[in-house]
């Protein structure tokens, strides 16, 4: 079977463009530590150099039995080593004070439910123990396309969660 010369030229041009476009796609890697440090600096409420603040969060569920998932979380923050946090929920109250003598926690109630701990953690410690992300030395990677579009950054890291012996 014979192909016309124009068809062969068109096919080779298309394949050449595809090959060129694939060569223009760049995989970019950067150390995770710098990116994480910048994100925490820009999104964490209480950190060195931040202005003092007071925040109050009321958590309520929209459906189900009223009060099952309801709480008030409040913090008055002056510096990283001087702040007061209160958490109030059904059958639970917790006062946490950080001052010159250290961290002091007084809890009244049977237990501190996980859903509520998650809200408190999300507010004040968005990335608990950020140093663990640097242990694996795995970089953050993304793809840059020829048109300038970027994929979402991604990191593959493996490490143990929790403190030993958990």
pLDDT digits (tens, 9 = 90+) for 78-101: 988 999 999 999 889 999 999 999
Mean residue pLDDT across the chain: 79
Strand-strand pairing, 26-30 and 53-59: unpaired
Confidence of residue 136 (pLDDT cuts 50, 70, 90): low
Cis peptide before 163 (omega within 30 of 0): no
Tell me, rounded to whole angstroms, the distance of Cα 17 from its chain centroid: 39
Whole-number pLDDT of residue 24 = 77
Residue range 39-70, pLDDT digits in tens:
777 777 777 778 899 999 998 888 777 667 89
The CA-CA-CA angle for residues 155, 135, 38, to 5°, reads 60
């Amino acid at each position: 079977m014979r192909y016309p010369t124009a068809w062969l030229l068109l096919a080779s041009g298309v394949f050449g463009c595809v090959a060129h476009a694939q060569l223009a796609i760049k995989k970019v890697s950067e150390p995770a530590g710098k990116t994480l440090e910048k994100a925490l600096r820009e999104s964490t409420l209480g950190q060195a150099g931040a202005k003092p603040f007071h925040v109050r969060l009321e958590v309520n569920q929209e459906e189900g039995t009223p009060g099952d998932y309801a709480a008030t979380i409040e913090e008055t923050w002056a510096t990283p080593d001087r702040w007061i946090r209160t958490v109030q929920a059904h059958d639970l109250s917790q006062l946490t004070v950080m001052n010159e003598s250290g961290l002091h926690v007084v809890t009244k109630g049977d237990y501190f439910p996980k859903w509520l701990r998650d809200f408190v953690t999300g507010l004040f410690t968005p990335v608990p123990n950020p140093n663990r992300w640097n242990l694996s030395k795995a970089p953050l990677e993304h793809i840059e396309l020829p048109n300038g579009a970027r994929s979402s950054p991604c990191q593959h890291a493996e490490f143990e969660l929790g403190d030993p012996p958990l």
